[in-house]
Amino acid sequence: MKKRLAALTALAILLICLSACRAAEQEGFEPEAEKHSSNSSAYIVEPKGEDETVVSQTDTSKTSGVFDFESRTVLLNSGYAMPILGLGTYALDHDTCVSSVMALLENGGRLIDTAYMYGNEEAVGEGVRRGMEEYGIPREEIFVITKIYPNQFSDPEVAIDMALNKLDIGYIDMMLLHHPGTNDVKAYQAMEKYVEQGKIRSLGLSNWYVEELTEFLPQVTITPALVQNEIHPYYQEQDVVPFIQEKGIVVQCWYPLGGRGYTADLLGNETIKAIAEAHGVSSAQVILRWDLQRGIVVIPGSSNPDHIRENLDLFGFELTDDEMAEIGELDRGEKHDWY
Ligand SMILES: NC(=O)c1ccc[n+]([C@@H]2O[C@H](COP(=O)([O-])OP(=O)(O)OC[C@H]3O[C@@H](n4cnc5c(N)ncnc54)[C@H](OP(=O)(O)O)[C@@H]3O)[C@@H](O)[C@H]2O)c1
C-alpha cells in the first residue's frame, strides 16, 4: 500500500512538473543560459591558415573586458564580442578609405573605426559591403564603430539616422559620443533608445577621462562598453586606463602610432627600435603589441595595404615584462591633439 502511495505521489509530481514546463514554454520562457546566448551575437576570430581568420558565433560565458588572444576578441559588457585590433579611418578620403577597409577585410581584420566628423561613413559602408561580397564575409563578422559629434548632440535622432543611412550596413555595431559637450547625456540617452530598437548594438564614449566619467556614468542607463582615448608611448594614460578597465569598460586607443605627422619620432625611438630588432618585427608592431598587452584595443590608421597587413600581424611574438616596463618609461605626458 505504502509503495503504491509513493508511486502515485511521484507520478503526480511528474505531471505537475510537465504541465508547469508546458505553461512556461507557452509564455515564451527560455532557460537562463539559452536566453543569454540567443540575445548575444558574440563571435570569435579563429586562426585559419597562416594569415587568414574566420569568425564564428560563441557563447558569452567568458569574462567581459578580458582579452582573448586566441580568438583575438574581447567580450564587451553589452554581450557582444569585439576584435581587439582593426583599422582607423581618420583622414582617409573616399577611395582610399574604401580600399583600406577592403584590404583590412581581405587580410582577416574585422574592426573598423569611423566618425561623422571624418566624412567617410559612406566609404566605410561601401568598403564593408564590397568586402562582404568579394571575400564572402557575413555582416555579423564585421564590427563597425562610428561617432556622433558635439554639434549633433542637440538633435541626436537626426544624427543617428544619418549615420545609419550613410553606413547602410543594416545596424551599427557601436556608436560613441565623439567628445563631451552640451547635451551629451541627452545624445547618449537617444542612443540607448536605438539600442532597444536593435539599430545600434553597443555604446561608448570618446575623450572621456576620470572626472568626465565620474560625472557622466550615474546619468545613463546603459554602461558604456568602451572608451576611446589618445594613447601612445609618449602619452600613456597610466592612471586613466586602469580606472576605466576596473569598471569593466574596454579601452581603445586613438593615435596609437602618435598620429599623422608624429609617427617618425615614435617609430624611430631608440628603445622601441631595439625591442623591435630583438623580436624581428617593426616598431609599429611593437607599439601595437604593447597596447594589446595592456588590454587596450588598437585601431591604427593606414592607407597602405602593406602597413594594414603588418598591423594585423601581432600574434607571433610577445613582449617581456622588462620590455613592457621599458616602454612604460617613455611616457612624457605628451598629448598630440587637444581633446
Ligand atoms: N576619437 C577621437 O577623437 C580620435 C581622434 C583621432 C583619431 N581617432 C581614430 O584613431 C585612429 C588612429 O589614429 P590615426 O590614424 O590618426 O593615427 P595613427 O594610427 O597613430 O597613425 C597613422 C599614421 O601611421 C602610419 N602607419 C600606419 N601603420 C604603419 C606601419 N605599420 N608602419 C609605418 N607607418 C604606419 C600611417 O601611414 P600610412 O597611411 O602610410 O600607413 C599614418 O600616417 C584614426 O584613424 C581614427 O579612427 C579617433
**Position with higher pLDDT, 107 vs 14:** 107
Q: Is the pLDDT of residue 260 over 50?
A: yes
Q: Which atom of ligand 1 is nearest to the CA of 206?
A: 1
The whole-chain average pLDDT of the chain stands at 87
Averaged pLDDT, 187-194: 98
| Closest protein CA for atom 13 of ligand 1 | 255
Residue type, 294: R
Q: Which H or E run includes 97? A: helix 94-106
> How many angstroms separate the CA atoms of 110 and 115, rounded?
17
The model carries a pTM of: 0.85
Lowest mean pLDDT among 6-20, 69-83, 216-230: 6-20
Q: Is the pLDDT of residue 60 over 50?
A: no
Q: Is the pLDDT of residue 62 over 90?
A: no
Provide the pLDDT for residue 63.
77
| Closest protein CA for atom 37 of ligand 1 | 302
**Position with higher pLDDT, 111 vs 46:** 111
Q: Which residues are identified as catalytic?
A: 118
> How many angstroms separate the CA atoms of 297 and 294, rounded?
9
Cell for 202? 553597443
Residue type, 43: Y
Q: Is the pLDDT of residue 49 over 50?
A: no
Ligand 1 pocket test, candidate residues 114, 177, 253, 257, most atoms within 8 A of CB:
257
Provide the pLDDT for residue 16.
46
- The number of C-alpha atoms within 13 Å of 245 and in the hemisphere containing its C-beta is 18
Q: Is the pLDDT of residue 21 over 80?
A: no
Q: Is the pLDDT of residue 297 over 80?
A: yes
Identify the residues whose C-beta falls under 6 Å from ligand 1.
Answer: 88-90, 113, 178, 206-207, 228, 254-260, 263, 267, 282, 284, 299-304, 307, 310-311, 339
Q: Is the pLDDT of residue 34 over 80?
A: no
Lowest mean pLDDT among 59-68, 226-235, 307-316, 330-339: 59-68
Is the separation of the CB atoms in 219 and 196 below 8 Å? no
Q: Kindly give the distance from the C-alpha atom of residue 36 to the centroid of ligand 1, in angstroms, as a whole number.
A: 36
Provide the pLDDT for residue 203.
98
Residue with cell 613582449: 319
Cell for 67? 582579452
Confidence label for 4 from pLDDT (cuts 50, 70 and 90): low
Ligand 1 pocket test, candidate residues 304, 306, 313, most atoms within 8 A of CB:
304
Q: Kindly give the distance from the C-alpha atom of residue 338 to the centroid of ligand 1, in angstroms, as a whole number.
A: 16
Lowest mean pLDDT among 27-31, 45-49, 120-124, 159-163: 27-31
> How many angstroms separate the CA atoms of 111 and 137, rounded?
13
Share of the chain above pLDDT 90, in %: 80
Among candidates 40, 86, 90, which has minimal Cα distance to 61? 40
Q: Is the pLDDT of residue 48 over 50?
A: no
Question: Which runs of consecutive H residues, i.e. helices, occur in 27-87?
Answer: 32-39
| Closest protein CA for atom 9 of ligand 1 | 254
Q: Which atom of ligand 1 is nearest to the CA of 263?
A: 24
CA 251 and chain centroid, separation: 9
Provide the pLDDT for residue 339.
72
> How many angstroms separate the CA atoms of 151 and 185, rounded?
14
Q: Which atom of ligand 1 is nearest to the CA of 90?
A: 45
Averaged pLDDT, 231-242: 97
* Domains within the chain, CATH numbers bracketed: 45-328 (3.20.20.100)
Lowest mean pLDDT among 27-41, 141-155, 308-322: 27-41
Q: Is the pLDDT of residue 5 over 70?
A: no
211-236: per-residue pLDDT in tens? Answer: 999 999 999 999 999 999 999 999 99
Ligand 1 pocket test, candidate residues 90, 101, 227, 230, most atoms within 8 A of CB:
90
Residue type, 55: V
Q: Kindly give the distance from the C-alpha atom of residue 266 to the centroid of ligand 1, in angstroms, as a whole number.
A: 12
Strands (E), the chain: 43-48, 52-57, 67-68, 73-75, 81-83, 87-88, 111-113, 143-148, 172-177, 200-206, 226-230, 250-254, 296-298
Provide the pLDDT for residue 168.
98
Q: Kindly give the distance from the C-alpha atom of residue 207 to the centroid of ligand 1, in angstroms, as a whole number.
A: 16
Q: Is the pLDDT of residue 39 over 50?
A: no
